[in-house]
Amino acid sequence: MTGGRALILDVDAFTYPRADYRSEVAALALDGWIHRRFKLEPCGATVAYDRPSHRFAFTWPGPVAPFADELLPPRSA
C-alpha cells in the first residue's frame, strides 16, 4: 500500500451465474472496478476465459502471491 491509503468495501450483494462463479474472478472484477472508478493505475493482474479448455487463465504481476494478504479481523456488529 502506498502513501498509507486504504479502501475497505462492504459488498452487500453480488449477482453472478452460479455455474460460473470463481472467487478469484470476482476479486479481479472488483479490482478492475476500483481502478477504473478511482482512476488508479492497473495493478497488472488479469483474468481471461479460455473457451477451449473451459478454464480461466490468470496473470499476476511480478513475484505476487495472490490472495495471500493478511486478513483484517472481523468487524463487530
**Is the pLDDT confidence value at 38 over 50?**
yes
Helical (H) or strand (E) element with 34: helix 23-37
- Can you list the positions of beta strands (E) in 9-59? 46-50, 55-59
pLDDT given at position 77: 57
> Which residue in 43, 35, 41, 42 sits closest to 7, CA to CA?
35
pLDDT given at position 1: 46
Average pLDDT of span 8-18 = 81
Residue bearing the bigger pLDDT, 64 or 77: 64
